[in-house]
Structure 1
Amino acid sequence: MSANDRCSRPRKILIICQYFVPYAASVGVVARVVHLARFLNDCGCEVHILTSDGADFGDLGLGGFLSELNITYLSDPLKKSVQERLLRIGDDPTGSASGGLSLLRAVKRFLNSFILPDLGIFMVPKYYRTAVTLAKSKEIDTVIVSTPPHSMQLVGGLLKQRFGERIELVVDYRDSWNASTIFARKGRFTSRIARRLEEFTVRRADIITCASQPMLAKLTRLFPDRTLDDKCLLMMNGYAEQPCPIAVPTAAEELRIGYFGMANDDNRGYRNVQPLLHVMALGVAAGLRIRLVFYGSLRLSRIDIRNFPFVEVHRSVPHGQVLDIMREMDYLLILHTDPSNSDEVITGKFFDYVRARRPILCFMPRDAEAVRLAERFQVGAWLDSQTPERALEALASLKHRQYPGLLDDRLVSSFSRREQYAKLYARLAGSA
């Protein structure tokens, strides 16, 4: 099928991802794909989703975005087993440290240490067979594979190898693969295999979308012998729906800082709350009035949250209510504590926080993309996750800071999902 033929009628799109509603633990894992699918559907495309089952976490408030989407769920016993184990362990932060959670983390790390590229590899044949059937029966002309887990990208590469020019392949990176220290293999032999697996798909891709600018730069450096500039497209996550009116600053003496999403106390993870809690405790001891409020899954196995009385923890908030709660906060927190992989970090929460027009507080290393954007556009502040003294100094000044970027309607609108996803649609339509 020629490009002209594809552009003369609405696209028939297959989106492949291993996590989708209701089998995902948090909105952040699925929001990019859910809203992209809905955007493409609103543009007149016929959208099919190929994903897998697991433990049922509910629709996370996103059920209203799923109408008119055609969703196929594959049976995924390994994913379901891990998720059900997490549900059994529970996420009650007022309880004692969980040995079960520590064991689960250790087992997962052990398995990932020798399985390439990740545990999703066992599902690749099943995804591929089902995708071939859908491509034929539904006359699919566009395949979008959104990862991690990056094993799913192999499905896209195999489909392109089989169907050739009949389909257009879009490789969508929410996080880098071999260019990221989170997912890159350390050994010479395993890293070489992992890179070849990624190259298998990258060289067959028609379009490569990345969620942040550093991801694009690292990908082109990783494969310098491949001409990727014409393929690559920056497509940030953005926020859904319309921006909120300009928020009125709170008058309370207590500084309320809200966090929405998953976090833990894993010293080897990147959502480790321990450094943040210790900085906040120092601030409280110095006389600062702070209330740190978590909404979501806080999985703790090393610390007891009751030792931090300035902290509140609540269950995840339904999608329809979260914005109102965000706007009650003085600051909205982004957490990333691993300096080895912070440079490309710009989570979906960043854009939701911009939409709420509340200042963003980035607790992360200095080189993080979220910090760069928050300071460049004057929508938030930085707390140094590596230097407690510097973080404490910044914490003490938060109450009196101003953020003019949040008052700029045009700037705030530029971060919407529609603005970001329109770039991909234009490329698919051949007009970019």
Structure 2
Amino acid sequence: MAQTKKVLIITYYWPPSGGSGVQRWVKFAKYLREFGWEPIIYTPSNPERPAIDHSLSKDVPKDLTVIKQPIWEPYIFYKKLVGLKKDEKLGSGLMKTGKESSFFHSLSVWIRGNFFIPDARKFWIRPSVKFLTDHLRDNPVDAIISTGPPHSMHMIAMNVTKQISIPWLADFRDPWTNIDFFEELRLSKYARKKHHKLESKVLKTADDLVVISPTMKKEFQEITNTPVSVVPNGFDKDDFSEESYHPDSVFSLSHVGMMTPTRNPQVLWETLSELSKENHHFRNNFKLRLIGKIDGTIKEDIDRFNIQHLVQFESYVPHNEIIRIQQQSDALLLIINNTPNAPLILTGKLFEYLAAKRPIICLSPVDGDAKEVIDETKAGRFILYSERDRLKSEIMRLFQNWQEGINSYEGIDAEKYSRRSLTKKIATQLNELVS
């Protein structure tokens, strides 16, 4: 029997933190042992958690080694600046909670982009490099993985591997300089240049790169000759029951996850407004469930289109409950950001939507990687923001099927996107890296 190898995983997000950034590496850690790798986690002991989700802890092997070190972050000053209480949660990306002063929020964005490079976790880089360099000399591993954002995790790995020669795989769950909000950071020429320089240095220094979408791979290949592989997010079969779908008393279209200003589908609000006015059965029997953090501008638009009666807002819901909601929804809504990087966006929720086996409505400004997955799995309809008539027709088709008790799901098996299958791909790359 082959000897188990060890891999150190540097990640900012770890249970009890909630969200998609946690799920990716919790699930990989869950299955890596099956493929000959023992994961060792390095993570902050006191991070700024956007949400708490204790349900994810069930996937952490009980005897897993988790090394925690304290981190200092400037968020206490940010909260004072924008008028938030110490224990209030921050919005992800540049999203507003709705309680901040607009002026001070804008000022904080400028400070963040120009002084906290690559991100606000930069103050954890130096102490982590010192700690891990000493620790790994006494407790050697066969490989290191860093996962970002935050991209400070990559900076830690890069500097550790300068001190100790260990194969390094850098995992990008999102782009760096091509992330959807990068252009909103109000960067100086110096700051912009530094972000690009650090990104290029990480991409060229790592021994192997993993990204979550084909278009992202193409973009990175224009910067570096380092091998780039695609390992998307996925779904864990263990999370999904065999419970069959049963139509509810009202038709529910559910969106899971945060909705930022760039993920604000005006075409959907217009369409729902029209359908509500034209069809009283629709008006009385349709519900749009928005589950997660919602930017204030989106709530304003929902009020402006006078569709509040169709919308149900729900704050963060634990992952295990999210799964149940997805399986019992009549349809699932996926929104691709209206940003230049839209073609590469391949969110984790898409793959859990596939496992839920409910029809997907995907709204996007352009064709892209999400369309390829939806077309491949026949899991729903990919609709451009400009196709209002097509969106209206699809919503009514699903609604009428619900009225007649017809199951609208037509998808095929998506086993290749299971967490176990994807972990096998990561393990194969690690094996090649250390061979």
User: Structure 2 length normalisation: TM-score?
Assistant: 0.81
For residues 255-312 of structure 1, the C-alpha deviation after alignment (integer angstroms, 9 at most, x for no partner) is 3111222224x3xxx3336664444333322324431012233343674567511111
Moved more, 379-388 or 360-369: 379-388
State how far apart, in whole Å, the 2-side matches of 1:246 and 1:360 are.
19
Q: Following TM superposition, by how much is the alpha carbon of 1:330 offset from its aligned partner in structure 2, in angstroms?
A: 1.2
Aligned to 2:419: 417
State how far apart, in whole Å, the 2-side matches of 1:44 and 1:203 are.
28
Structure 1 residue 19 and structure 2 residue 17: aligned?
Answer: no
Aligned to 1:177: 176
Structure 1 residue 317 and structure 2 residue 317: aligned?
Answer: yes
1:98/1:248 CA distance change after superposition, 3 Å: closer
Pick the aligned partner of 1:250 from 247, 252, 255.
247
Q: Following TM superposition, by how much is the alpha carbon of 1:171 offset from its aligned partner in structure 2, in angstroms?
A: 0.6
Structure 1 residue 240 and structure 2 residue 239: aligned?
Answer: no
Give the match's secondary structure for 1:214: helix
For residues 113-145 of structure 1, the C-alpha deviation after alignment (integer angstroms, 9 at most, x for no partner) is 313222222221122222223322321221111
Q: Tell me if the contact between 2:112 and 2:120 (Cα under 8 Å) persists in the aligned partners.
A: yes
State how far apart, in whole Å, the 1-side matches of 2:268 and 2:128 are.
40
Q: Tell me if the contact between 1:169 and 1:206 (Cα under 8 Å) persists in the aligned partners.
A: yes
Moved more, 58-67 or 396-405: 396-405
State how far apart, in whole Å, the 1-side matches of 2:377 and 2:237 are.
21
Q: Which amino acid aligns with 2:47?
A: G
Q: Tell me if the contact between 1:61 and 1:319 (Cα under 8 Å) persists in the aligned partners.
A: yes
Aligned to 1:94: none
Q: Tell me if the contact between 1:89 and 1:98 (Cα under 8 Å) persists in the aligned partners.
A: no
Q: Following TM superposition, by how much is the alpha carbon of 1:373 offset from its aligned partner in structure 2, in angstroms?
A: 1.6
Structure 1 residue 124 and structure 2 residue 125: aligned?
Answer: yes
State how far apart, in whole Å, the 1-side matches of 2:30 and 2:244 are.
28
Structure 1 portions without partners, runs of 5+: 1-6, 92-96
Q: Following TM superposition, by how much is the alpha carbon of 1:59 offset from its aligned partner in structure 2, in angstroms?
A: 3.2
- Which residues of 2 match residues 346-365 of structure 1 at below 5 A? 346-365=346-365
Structure 2 portions without partners, runs of 5+: 92-96, 402-406
Q: Tell me if the contact between 2:246 and 2:328 (Cα under 8 Å) persists in the aligned partners.
A: no
Q: Following TM superposition, by how much is the alpha carbon of 1:332 offset from its aligned partner in structure 2, in angstroms?
A: 1.3
Query: How many residue pairs were aligned?
Result: 404
State how far apart, in whole Å, the 1-side matches of 2:368 and 2:328 are.
26
Moved more, 371-380 or 270-279: 270-279
User: Structure 1 length normalisation: TM-score?
Assistant: 0.82
State how far apart, in whole Å, the 1-side matches of 2:374 and 2:349 are.
12
Q: Following TM superposition, by how much is the alpha carbon of 1:396 offset from its aligned partner in structure 2, in angstroms?
A: 3.3
1:196/1:36 CA distance change after superposition, 3 Å: same
Aligned to 1:54: 47
For residues 166-214 of structure 1, the C-alpha deviation after alignment (integer angstroms, 9 at most, x for no partner) is x110110101123445447876544433232122222222221111111
Identity %: 21
Q: Following TM superposition, by how much is the alpha carbon of 1:393 offset from its aligned partner in structure 2, in angstroms?
A: 4.5
Aligned to 1:40: 32
State how far apart, in whole Å, the 2-side matches of 1:363 and 1:101 are.
31
Q: Tell me if the contact between 2:7 and 2:37 (Cα under 8 Å) persists in the aligned partners.
A: yes
- Which residues of 2 match residues 256-275 of structure 1 at below 5 A? 256-264=252-260, 266=261, 270-272=262-264
State how far apart, in whole Å, the 1-side matches of 2:103 and 2:132 are.
35
Q: Following TM superposition, by how much is the alpha carbon of 1:238 offset from its aligned partner in structure 2, in angstroms?
A: 0.9
Q: Tell me if the contact between 1:41 and 1:68 (Cα under 8 Å) persists in the aligned partners.
A: no
Aligned to 2:404: none
